[in-house]
Amino acid sequence: MKTTIIGFPRIGEQRELKFATEKYFRNEWTAAELEDFAKELRKKHWQLVKASGVEEIPSNDFSFYDTTLDTACLLNIIPQEVAELNLTEREKYFALARGYQGEKGDIKARPMKKWFNTNYHYIVPKFEQTTKISVTGTKIFDEYYEAKALGIETRPVILGPFTLIQLSEFETGTDRGTIISDLTNAYQEIIQRLESLGVKWVQLDEPGLVKDLTPEELAEFKTLYQALLVNKEIKVLLQTYFGDIRDAYETVIDLPFAGIGLDFVEGRKTLELVKQGFPAEKELFAGVVNGKNIWRNHYQATIDLLQEINPAKLVLTTSCSLLHVPFTTANEIFAPEINQHFAFAKEKLAELVDLASILAGDEAQLAANQALFAQPRFNENQAIQAKVAALTAKDYLREPVFEERESLQRAAFQFPLLPTTTIGSFPQTREVKQTRAKYKRHEISEAQYDAFIAQQIDDWLKWQTEIGLDVLVHGEFERNDMVEYFGQNLSGYLFSKNGWVQSYGTRCVKPPIIWGDIAREQAITVKWSTYAQQQTKKIVKGMLTGPVTILNWSFPREDISLKASTLQIALAIQEEVLDLEKNGIRVIQIDEAALREKLPLRKSDWYTEYLDWAIPAFRLVHSKVQPTTQIHTHMCYSEFTDIIPAIDQMDADVISFEASRSNLAILDELKRQHFKTAVGPGVYDIHSPRIPAVAEIKQTIEKILAKVPLEKVWINPDCGLKTRGIPETTKSLSHMTEAVKQVRKEL
């Protein structure tokens, strides 16, 4: 029984690659120093995988920033504006990822998008009319050699052409047919060269196959691969992940792949497909160890599954690259009885080896694992389980209906036309972060810490009043992170010390772990929200994170459904909402920044698998408030054109969303679909330090007013301001309120 993995986390056990790369960014290291460091890191990782007993080891899964970007560079898909700069290859690479501003030029970064249904991001490749596809990169060949020199035979990995095309942007005037034939030639050349180097297996990643595919797309896939699978010696592994390939399965098994990698964890239909028949001459790379979550594998269930499919040639692997889980549990300080339930990347290698030995008859491993799963789960909370079980349709309904609330609220609040507000956070300066850290380390007392936060709130309330904002915020200075802060005040959550996962480039996130049933232990935001409200006659908005976002940015349980966990969280946040209301908070914003992000990859699953419980979970949170308590929500992306009715069904009174970078295209759709919720499309981009001029914001407001009824419009920036500096924040926001003043006058 062979074992392998699809890819390994490149960031390093202690995020070494992050820190090394950032040294290079700060010019403290030369490119050569960075390359040497990376070489050592790759060596360490290959040797670690080898030592674990996993036999087939991938290469070229390493990346300085992103593997899609690596593929673009390998194929010379480099936009002209970067290609023509007098930069080294390494500088060009990082220029595409992060932009370049220096003596050799000034260019923006390429756009970045979420990688399928993960929190990893890829850099969007762009085909231009001037693009000359050719194999100019050498990374994939170099890394194969590098491993070989260490005595390790590897399987080079590359993003396949089908998915590459799906993810790319095409300049108008480019010809898709030509691009496809050029890509085919280039991939042929890569495979040819790998073959002549003596490579035995090459892995082509095609996660794009797990989406709903049109017959045209399927035909395109077939054409591409018919042309690629012509070599005699080298074996090609078609690797898929993040779901099943129901649309492409027939096509895939008919093509001369030597191996096919299928996801048995997220792919709901994978088992059914394989049972219909899997060619005996091909190797089935069965993704049975979850590459996305951090729980131990249930060996008996996996063995049962494997016995059910019983293919002629089986290779055990992970469901996707281990890039999406933290490195190892070895550096955590969880109690052993807790730690034993976790498997991060390194521990998953051991699981693959265990599974292989169990299949070969090792009873002891199986018994130990059975004992682990037989233990009762800690943190059961029967009261909360009962509460969820007792929920009825009425609990998800807010009364009276939207239109009635709208007029009641209009009378109650008397906001001016185009009310202005912000999304919640103000700049988290070094001073703010350090003070929080000192408090955490007990270097300052609670009283000192509280005085500091209160002072921040006072200052910013005063300033917000001065520039004439209508609905104020307290600024979120007490929060490190919009999910962790809530998790820390809920029972049922655990926090790793070192559980970092790459999000993009050198940025990593540390998702909290949902360990048990979730319940609200104590009030979470009431203290600072009420403090802020008591300091001013103006309305101060309460600020909460919604249940779907809390869930989506955590490692979820596997023993109960996502829906069940989300409803528990929703009940906890509902208590917080009612507590805020009781304490005089009249406007409450419940952020659902990550709601759009976990939409299933298949459109056909959107409602049944996700929205049908996610949207009600949000409604549950605010269903019990008074008609005159105004509920706001916020979403980070405006890419919800295709789920507008679902967003309206959240039944919030106001929604703010990021809009400035998407040229407000969403507004036409809102109008067409009679969107009822009042809207605050962001009037300026907060992701850059650039300060928008008054006239520019005014123009944006006028564009909004051309499409949305005046009485439905709120004015706010795109998102929270915690990553921005103070000078640009104060200037931008005062330009915003000034622009509104001018527009109001003209109205």
Residue ranges in contact with Zn ion by CB under 5 A = 593, 636, 719
Exactly one of 405, 722, 724, 735 binds ligand GLN (CB under 6 A); that residue is 722
Q: At 660, phi and psi to the nearest 5?
A: -65, -30
Distance CA 623, CA 618 (A): 9
Closer residue to ligand GLN (CB): 406 or 718: 718
* Shortest Å, Cβ 478 to ligand GLN: 12
* Shortest Å, Cβ 719 to ligand GLN: 5
Return the SS3 of 343: coil
Residue nearest to ligand GLN (CB): 720
* From the list ligand GLN, Zn ion, none, partner contacted by residue 482 (C-beta under 5 to 8 A by kind): ligand GLN
Q: What is the length of the chain?
A: 747
Q: Is 423 annotated as a binding residue?
A: yes
Q: Is 528 annotated as a binding residue?
A: no
Name which of residues 542 to 581 contact ligand GLN (CB under 6 A). Answer: 543
Q: Is 425 annotated as a binding residue?
A: yes
Exactly one of 45, 634, 698, 707 binds ligand GLN (CB under 6 A); that residue is 634
Q: At 348, phi and psi to the nearest 5?
A: -70, -30
Q: Is 614 in the site for ligand GLN (CB under 6 A)?
A: no
* Shortest Å, Cβ 276 to ligand GLN: 43
Q: Is 50 annotated as a binding residue?
A: no
Closer residue to Zn ion (CB): 287 or 546: 546
Closer residue to ligand GLN (CB): 424 or 600: 424
Distance CA 186, CA 407 (A): 63
* From the list ligand GLN, Zn ion, none, partner contacted by residue 735 (C-beta under 5 to 8 A by kind): none
Q: Is 324 in the site for ligand GLN (CB under 6 A)?
A: no
Q: Is 719 in the site for ligand GLN (CB under 6 A)?
A: yes
3-state secondary structure 399-423: CCCHHHHHHHHHHHHCCCCCCECCC
Contacts 24+ apart (CB under 8 A), 705-711: 705/743, 707/664, 707/667, 707/668, 707/670, 707/671, 708/667, 708/670, 708/671, 708/679, 708/681, 710/417, 710/418, 710/747, 711/417
* From the list Zn ion, ligand GLN, none, partner contacted by residue 592 (C-beta under 5 to 8 A by kind): none
Q: Are the beta carbons of 599 and 640 closer than 8 angstroms?
A: no
Name which of residues 111 to 150 contact ligand GLN (CB under 6 A). Answer: none
In the structure encoding, which two tokens stand for residue 138, read together?
């050498």
Q: At 679, phi and psi to the nearest 5?
A: -125, 140
- The one segment of 44-52, 310-318, 516-524, 714-722 that binds ligand GLN by CB under 6 A: 714-722
Distance CA 251, CA 228 (A): 15
In the structure encoding, which two tokens stand for residue 680, read together?
């605050």
* From the list ligand GLN, Zn ion, none, partner contacted by residue 54 (C-beta under 5 to 8 A by kind): none
How do 630-635 and 587-591 pair as beta strands? parallel
Q: Is 119 annotated as a binding residue?
A: yes
Closer residue to ligand GLN (CB): 237 or 543: 543
In the structure encoding, which two tokens stand for residue 393, read together?
């349709």
* Shortest Å, Cβ 255 to ligand GLN: 43
* Shortest Å, Cβ 637 to Zn ion: 8
Q: Is 658 annotated as a binding residue?
A: yes
With a CB cutoff of 8 Å and minimum separation 6, the contacts of 465 are: 472, 536, 538
- Cβ neighbourhood burial of 196 (10 Å; 0-12, 13-18, 19+): exposed
How do 678-681 and 654-657 pair as beta strands? parallel
442 flagged as catalytic: no
Cα distance between the two ends of the chain:
75
Exactly one of 259, 427, 492, 720 binds ligand GLN (CB under 6 A); that residue is 720
Q: Is 471 in the site for ligand GLN (CB under 6 A)?
A: no
Q: Is 15 annotated as a binding residue?
A: yes
* Shortest Å, Cβ 435 to ligand GLN: 18
Q: Is 320 annotated as a binding residue?
A: no
Q: Is 482 in the site for ligand GLN (CB under 6 A)?
A: yes
Exactly one of 273, 593, 595, 621 binds ligand GLN (CB under 6 A); that residue is 593
Q: Is 114 annotated as a binding residue?
A: yes
Q: Are the beta carbons of 75 and 133 closer than 8 angstroms?
A: yes
Q: Is 500 annotated as a binding residue?
A: no
Closer residue to ligand GLN (CB): 348 or 479: 479
* Shortest Å, Cβ 656 to ligand GLN: 9
Tokens 């998915």 belong to which residue? Answer: 163
* Shortest Å, Cβ 477 to Zn ion: 18
Return the SS3 of 153: coil
Q: Is 74 annotated as a binding residue?
A: no
In the structure encoding, which two tokens stand for residue 602, read together?
């298949």
Four-CA torsion 513, 519, 522, 528, nearest 10 degrees? 60
- Report which of 232, 234, 228, 215 is spatially closest to residue 255, judged by C-alpha positions: 228
How do 235-239 and 654-657 pair as beta strands? unpaired
* Shortest Å, Cβ 598 to Zn ion: 16
Closer residue to Zn ion (CB): 457 or 593: 593
Name which of residues 405 to 464 contact ligand GLN (CB under 6 A). Answer: 423-425
Closer residue to ligand GLN (CB): 412 or 539: 539
Q: Is 73 annotated as a binding residue?
A: no
715 — alpha (psi -120 to 50), left (phi > 0) or beta?
beta
Q: Are the beta carbons of 680 and 664 closer than 8 angstroms?
A: no
Distance CA 616, CA 604 (A): 19
Closer residue to Zn ion (CB): 165 or 593: 593
Distance CA 410, CA 415 (A): 7
Closer residue to ligand GLN (CB): 240 or 533: 533
- Report which of 583, 600, 491, 479 is spatially closest to residue 540, judged by C-alpha positions: 583
Q: Contact positions toward ligand GLN, by CB under 6 A?
A: 423-425, 476, 482, 543, 591, 593, 634, 636, 719-720, 722
Residues at the annotated binding site for Zn(2+)?
A: 634, 636, 658, 719
Q: Which residues are annotated as a binding site for L-methionine?
A: 423-425, 476, 591
Residue numbers in the known binding site are 15-18, 114, 119, 423-425, 476, 507-508, 553, 591, 597, 634, 636, 658, 719
Active site residues: 687
